[in-house]
A and B are shown apart, each in its own frame.
Chain A
Amino acid sequence: MREVAIIAFGQTPNRRKELHRNDAEMVAPVVAEVLKGVGLSRRDVDFTCSGSSDFLAGYSFSWVMAIDALGAWPPIQESHVEGEAAWALYEAWVKMLCQEEIEVALVYGFGRQSMSSPREVMVLMNDPYLETPLWPDTISQAALQARALLDAGLCTERDFAEIAVRNLRHAESNPLAQLSGRPDPDALLETPTIASPLRKHDCPPITDGACAVLLAAGDRARELCNRPAWIRGLAHRIDVQALGRRDLTHSHSARLAAEAAGAIGTRVDIAELHAPFTPQDWILQRELEITEGTVINPSGGIHQGNPMMGAGLVRFGEVAARIIRGEADRGVAHATQGPCLQQNMVGVLEGE
């Protein structure tokens, strides 16, 4: 199998609201940054793929204008996934595996969820006949999952708070993080619930942002990067969506994806988990069999920011960046979409 690596990663500072720039204007500097970092121009990119959501943007074909930020002239090979950009990474990886002429690929994701209420908008990501009319918002759905964990005696609310504490502490060393700090878990538990048992610290921040990674194959990766983060395994799986038809204390598809990616039973230094809600972090640790020696979310995880449609790609970028910088040798990255960890992608990245 052809060797493909992530050789660069960039993102906008994670901000509550991108007031002035539109999607294309947000994407352009991030793309420029990753290319400049490895000394490439846009013409050196053989394939481009992006992930975003029309509904988040509020109009159809919203991703099309972002292409105008890429300098797509002469015309480029380009594709788009509707949803989380980590799946755009997957498409680029697959293309590179079977097309030798694709040596460098650009993957980017973006979203300005502050424009509306994501809690409202994402209700539409449900069965329109039986579920959407009840308006199950993402926080309430995650709360159901948290409740399932508590009722099964698997977790306490303090466990959830400690996940937030860990993320926030790690985020302190991340200059682009939206949230960071050293709150006391007990103090967090005193705060009011938003949707019981979830409190503000258990939930993702609202973030506008864009992110990008560059992929390169084989020797081209070695030319461009001193220590490419090789993709040793990459897989995604999906579960049934309806919450009542799943054991919410598990994410079966996360487990299957991790197995297929070769992430189970293997030592990794770092793990970046795309867990929008703290209880989901706990579930993923279990499904991916994350062991004690592994540092979880050194970037700060979702608390560093939740640029929706890009947050999963950011996890891959953060693992890759640490490998590239020599701060880690082997890491696992995870991305999710769909309510309560319905669909999951897991990748194993390694430096030489």
Chain B
Amino acid sequence: MANRCAVIGIGQTKHTDRRLDVNHVGLVREACNRALEDARLPWKNIDALVIGKAPDTIEGVICPELYMAEALGMAGKPLFRVHTAGSVGGATAIVGTELIGAGLHDKVLVLGWQKQSESDITWALSPNLPFDPPLMAGAGGFFAPHFREYIRRSGAPDHIGIKVAVKDRRHALRNPYAHLHQPSVCFEEIRDTPMLWDPLRYGETCPSSDGACAMVLSSEKFADHGSARPAWIHATEMRSEPTIMPGRDEVNPRAGRDCAAALYKKTGITNPRKEFDCAEIYVAFSWFEPMLAETLGFAEPGEGWKLSDSGATSLEDGGDIPWNCSGGVLSSNPIGASGTLRFAEAALQVRGQAGERQVDGARLALAHALGGASQFFAMWIVGSEKP
């Protein structure tokens, strides 16, 4: 039986396209310092650090956490690096949870980060390898055909993607840390942005961000140490499926369905839409919202777009299951941190610390991170009650 684990401190940077004012260390320490302040702990009281980041080609340094060890307060302590592509931020939090669950440590700092301005992000994400004809560039180009297939399968109207993008960008206006702040954002504005990979418009894609997010996780012994009530981690789950498999369904991946089902089973959730107060879901491109709504059990297959269309996922519209009150990945995407941000924002909600993006009375929240070719899933459930 695993030891209980709680989030007692949360910190993040102001995410932006280019942090010229800080180097790698400055970036991550900004997030860590805020998390430690929130946890009311000094650096030296941290037992271990788990750090997550997506490809090192993005900063051009192999395992930068190694050279940053001292600056991260880990000289003489255990430092651990996770890399599970886009879901890494979530996987990192899960490893941190397990270190406490196993009774190895009491206070673990979990950190996700990425400084995408430092190299060519398009190259870093899709280097054209020999023998492969260069057909598409960027993650959007990879996912666009699957969005088209979703639209065909579900009969979703064209405007759904735009609506999701508008919602998340409007949410971001309530989040001082979000990268994209577009005060004038509205349906027409997103609709009129250039079509990049049909059906995906520029306004429906995530930005490329420099950013970091840190959480202090603790055992039950230190759960009340933070400046706000703890966010108890009720359950975590991960699933992966192959990249290229004949008949693989990238639109509704089994790894996602299995991950969510296993997670809900652990905690007795049978109706995620009704039982969660809010969710932070890795929606990097607008159409992921209706698709993931189906994969993660918030809507029946073919009906996910109706959830998005109805305003149910909008905090502004008073929806009953707000998704991505933080603005989500659509508003800030430092890849290595994006998963941690989802997990952290869910924890912020149940700790009542989400400020203007707070869902009133949020007590139970779901977080999800997605990686690779819609193949890596990491999820957790946090609540204000002890599990």
Contacts and interface: CB of A to CB of B under 8 A. Distances in A.
B86 to A, nearest CB: 10
B43 interface: no
Interface stretch (B168-176, B240-248, B315-323): B240-248
A65 B75 CA distance: 34
Contact of B69 (A90, A100, A241): A241
Nearest to A121: B62
A72 B238 CA distance: 13
B140 interface: no
Interface string B149-176: 0000000000000000000000000000
Nearest to A125: B62
Interface string B235-271: 0001111111100000001110011000000000000
Contacts of B55: 54, 60-61
B70 A240 contact: yes
Contacts of B69: 238-241, 342-343
A195 interface: no
Interface of B: 1-3, 23-24, 53-64, 66-67, 69-70, 74-85, 91, 95, 98-99, 101-104, 124-125, 127, 129, 238-245, 253-255, 258-259, 372-373, 375-376
Contact of B102 (A68, A94, A342): A94
A128 B115 CA distance: 13
A65 B62 contact: no
Interface stretch (A80-88, A184-192, A269-277, A312-320): A80-88
Contacts of B253: 75
Nearest to B258: A75
A67 B239 CA distance: 12
A269 to B, nearest CB: 27
Contact of A72 (B84, B85, B242): B242
Interface of A: 1, 53-55, 59-61, 63-65, 67-68, 70, 72-83, 87, 90-91, 94-95, 97-100, 121-122, 124-129, 131-132, 235-242, 245, 252-253, 256, 337-338, 342-343
B44 to A, nearest CB: 15
Contacts of B59: 128
Contacts of B76: 237-239, 252-253, 256
Contacts of A98: 2-3, 98, 101-103
Contacts of B23: 129
B80 A65 contact: no
Contacts of A75: 239-241, 253-255, 258-259
Contact of A53 (B62, B129, B242): B62
Given A79-B82, A80-B83, A124-B62, A73 B241 contact: yes
27 contacts: A60-B57, A60-B58, A61-B372, A64-B373, A68-B243, A74-B258, A75-B240, A75-B253, A75-B254, A75-B259, A78-B376, A79-B82, A79-B84, A79-B95, A81-B82, A83-B63, A90-B80, A97-B104, A98-B102, A127-B67, A237-B77, A238-B66, A238-B75, A238-B77, A238-B78, A242-B67, A256-B76
A238 B242 CA distance: 33
A94 B103 contact: no
Nearest to A100: B1
Contact of B79 (A63, A124, A238): A238
Given A60-B58, A60-B127, A64-B243, 4 more contacts: A77-B239, A79-B95, A90-B80, A236-B78
